[in-house]
Structure 1
């Protein structure tokens, strides 16, 4: 999270936002997210590691969206600008929302309600790639993360790439793939239009919803996929995915962690790590963000 704060507020090579405006009012919340990233979790080999670590680099001319997405991809991160101009952040550890749920009294309309995914858009396999320090920091592809039940039901594999180049751990890549698979195939997606009483939920990732007139939405939690505020019309448009909390955190490293790619034997006469940033450093435009 310190990486992201640095990039968002860095004048030279970052986005140059005013720290006192976008981060400082929420710094306590950001530090909670940083602690979640640093929490120690188990790996399949019996070892342990931080839940989420980020190691990457970018050049000054890189698209800011790509840099931010690179960092967020390492922690299943969710970020948005709240109504007060601050930047809200939630990393990938589900926490039940508190506060009054959005209900029928707040809802002005629905659009694009979809139950499940159409066969042609379903995803049942994620082809992960991450950066492996054991192989000279090259991008490697472990075993795909597959939903065998969904593959069997559909009768065909529908694969999607999952680029985790800022991740350097096979265990972390598997944890992120499990969460990405759930997000790719939500049980319900919808667009909900509310009045301004739902304003407090614009900057929240998980939003409680109580709508007794649609099956599955009677008393549930939705993940905020983006919102649009129209003060003139007095309405907010939310894009939501249904969240099943028991599924989101149902990860067992002994079962769900994919085998790490084998490390090939070194070539005769080879030495060093194989890591060479010479050209990038010589350009004078490289910024390293090493787990800060």
Structure 2
């Protein structure tokens, strides 16, 4: 049975969602216009081409009929004036998330973004993987994250949770704590791997997946998908919280350079680009639109123009770095693109989509009283209900690509604040220039709304117009916010706002506000360690080795963790004990008699932050099953036998007696000079002897001490001195 997650990947690699549905031409309206134009008005007005068949391309400019009108040009100022809906785009946290679901919309990635994506696979396996230090047979979670449903340039910076990490050529993560360096170096120090794929031709499923899971085969189609295959190995319990602070495998949200097939007509080539005009053209053609490539080239040049920012540096005028999901309609995408670069869209006479990025050009067409059927004018309003300041929420790379708010454009310090959002912008200067234009468009000096005669055809494609209306007493340059053809007639509705050329090229050195201040507050996140750890062997246990550890009472909001190990008892790795609330002691029982046990303690918070281990050098105690020493020897003597020494002794009449430990010092009667030379096992109250063969010429002093079964010594007897000649 094929993995469900693979079914997801296979589904995403199809074209099921590659072209979102869009509203087609409004047929009854088109037929009506066609009939009307046959009366001769079309010829008289010089109307031909797409316009003569009902301007059907305008129907898809905003998705069809809009209040009984067909919109033929629209700009960002229409959004600022609430003439069209604002785009609703996923927030940076939503874009960075990893999620599992049976069906997911495709993501298209343009420019440089930080994003996550849906899982392509998620499964556990104990299959061996070869790390730089050898085989690792631990249990691992394998998972994959789909970044884009097309080829891309590839990752710029890997992120696991909030950690930027680096990898070697084979994808093994080399950054602490994912690479957990616990001397001596070993294969199990490596806990994570990342293998990135960019969706180019011939790309198959990840080789590690194919080797690990029989359900994954070469027939699984991963071509055209940009994705990453990851593994997360299970560490020891002691290391788990440090390596996986979230309690599970890391979320993967890398910084990734997106689409690498963006066409540039200036060089007749395809490559990665975040040039705003080139991105708009690529998106439009993906939606099935046609563009004029000469116009695209001109707008691309404008996008590449250098502008000065507040710091005195320069940057390109307009870039777009964004994620588009295939459930978005063209209208939603178009509104988002307008927000990214102050773009203005219109329907060209040849039926192609025309657009202009944010820049001012002197108007070439003047409208007078004779061109209007009606005109209403609204002068700039002021008052407590007006918005006083505007700011734009954008993506700030310096803050790990999270959302940030630009400095505000303040029109009235007493007014309300409005925050707009555009997650396709990743520089403060560009965000400021956009919100500057937004503020000027939302509260222009003059706002005009009217009905144009047939001259409206000449206004199509004209972003800026001069209006000289004697009766209204107005003479100003305006930007067309929206131009639409009224159904059933040859008139046009126009919404426009007065502009100043400086609105499109504000002086950043003088006007750009500082970035939002994010002061770093010193925070004491150090968890205090227990002051000490002591321990003792518990006596009178009836032959069971037990140790009790004791530490000072700790604050109520902290819990303690005690760890211990004993290589001699076969416990080479640290074993962790979570101590109960309010305890200041812990007993270890069923220990191996006579073996040394190391122990340390630390504090842990409810958020799993931990202190240092105490003491730094582990406390070492020997496990003792019987702590009662035997009585002293009843008799102890010795004699020379040639070059050897024979010792005779009678053990105590004590049931705990198990053996005798014998010490010797040569040419000295001080025990400080003695060394252990033998142990003789025997029974209580039963005469015994021990021979020391050829200790050498000299005076040899001997001591003897009785031992119980746990090696606890009783009173020492001696010295008995024997001379060997």
Q: Does 1:234 align with 2:512?
A: no
Q: Distance in 2 between matches of 1:140 and 1:49?
A: 19
Aligned-partner Cα distance in 1 for 2:415–2:486: 41
> Alpha-carbon deviation of 1:163?
1.0
8 Å Cα contact 2:385/2:415 also seen in 1: no
8 Å contact from structure 1 (residues 195, 234) kept in 2: yes
Q: Which structure's residues are more often helix, by fraction?
A: 1
Separation in 2, partners of 1:184, 1:63: 25
d(CA) in 2 for partners of 1:256, 1:117? 23
- Determine the structure 1 residue equivalent to 2:511: 256
Q: Report what 1:176 is aligned to.
A: 434
| Alpha carbons 2:406, 2:431 under 8 Å: kept | no
TM-score (norm 2): 0.32
Q: Distance in 2 between matches of 1:84 and 1:231?
A: 20
CA distance change for structure 1 residues 249 and 68 in 2, over 3 Å: closer, same or farther?
closer
Cα shift at 1:35: 1.0
Q: What SS class does the counterpart of residue 93 from structure 1 fall into? A: coil
- In the alignment, which residue of structure 2 is the partner of 1:47? 313
Q: Check whether the contact 1:126–1:161 (CA below 8 A) recurs between aligned residues.
A: yes
Preserved CA contact (<8 Å) 1:134 1:263: no
Range with greater deviation from structure 2 (164-173 or 60-69)? 60-69
Return the match for 2:288 from 16, 19, 26: 16
Larger strand proportion of the pair:
2
Is 1:102–2:385 an aligned residue pair?
Answer: no
Partner of 2:330: 64
Residue 190 (structure 1) aligned to one of 432, 437, 448? 448
After superposition, what is the alpha-carbon deviation per residue over 1:163-190, rounded to whole angstroms, capped at 9, x for unaligned? 1211111111112221111111011112
Asked if the contact 1:88–1:204 (Cα under 8 Å) also holds between the matched residues in 2, the reply is: no
Assess if the C-alpha contact under 8 Å between 1:170 and 1:258 holds in 2. no
Contact 1:122 1:184 in 2 (8 A): no
Pairwise CA distance, 1:201: 0.6
Contact 1:171 1:258 in 2 (8 A): no
Q: How does 1:1-292 map to 2 (within 5 A)?
A: 1-10=277-286, 15-17=287-289, 19=290, 23-24=291-292, 27-82=293-348, 84-99=350-365, 101-111=366-376, 113-117=377-381, 119=383, 122-147=386-411, 150-151=412-413, 156-215=414-473, 217-218=474-475, 220-230=476-486, 232-245=488-501, 247-249=502-504, 251-262=506-517
Stretch deviating more after TM superposition (56-65 or 227-236)? 227-236
* Deviation of 1:121 (Å): 5.5
The structure having more radius of gyration, on CA atoms, is 2
Q: Distance in 2 between matches of 1:9 and 1:250?
A: 30
In 2, distance between residues paired with 1:3 and 1:66? Answer: 15
Matches of 2:334 and 2:421, distance apart in 1: 14
Shift of 1:258: 2.2
Instruction: Work out the CA distance in 1 between the residues paired with 2:384 and 2:335.
Output: 26
The alpha-carbon deviation at position 85 of structure 1 amounts to: 2.5
Q: How far apart, CA to CA, are the structure 2 residues paired with 1:232 and 1:128?
A: 40
CA–CA distance in structure 2, aligned partners of residues 160 and 96 of structure 1: 30
Aligned partners of 1:41 and 1:232: how far apart in 2?
46
1:186–1:243 Cα contact (<8 Å) kept: yes
Separation in structure 1 between the aligned mates of residue 492 and residue 464 of structure 2, nearest angstrom: 16
**What's the offset of the Cα at 1:118?**
5.4
3-state secondary structure, aligned to 2:466 = strand
Distance 1:164 1:231 in 2: 33
Q: How many residues align?
A: 247
Shift of 1:193: 1.4
How far does the alpha carbon of each residue in 1:37-84 deviate from its partner, in whole angstroms, 9 at most, with x for none? Answer: 110111121211101111011221123333222222121111122454
Larger RCO (alpha carbons 8 Å, 6+ apart): 1
TM-score normalized by the length of structure 1:
0.76
The unaligned stretches of length 5 or more in structure 1 are: 269-292
Residue 30 (structure 1) shift: 2.5
Taking the aligned partners of 2:384 and 2:378, their CA distance within structure 1 comes to 14
Matched-pair contact (CA < 8 Å) for 2:463–2:480: yes
How far did 1:143 drift?
A: 3.0
Once the two structures are overlaid, the 10-residue window that deviates more, 49-58 or 86-95, is 86-95
Deviations 1:90-130 (A, max 9, x none): 2221111114x11122221124x211135365332113211
What SS does the corresponding residue of 2:451 show, helix, strand or coil? Answer: strand
In 1: Cα distance, 2:359 partner to 2:504 partner: 7
Contact 2:375 2:450 in 1 (8 A): yes
State the alpha-carbon separation in 2 of the partners of residues 136 and 228 from structure 1: 42
Measure, in 2, the Cα distance between the counterparts of 1:198 and 1:65. Answer: 23
1:135-181 Cα deviation digits (max 9, x unpaired):
2111112332222xx33xxxx22211121211111111112221111
The answer to whether the 8 A contact 2:281-2:296 is kept is no
Q: Distance in 1 between matches of 2:320 and 2:338?
A: 9
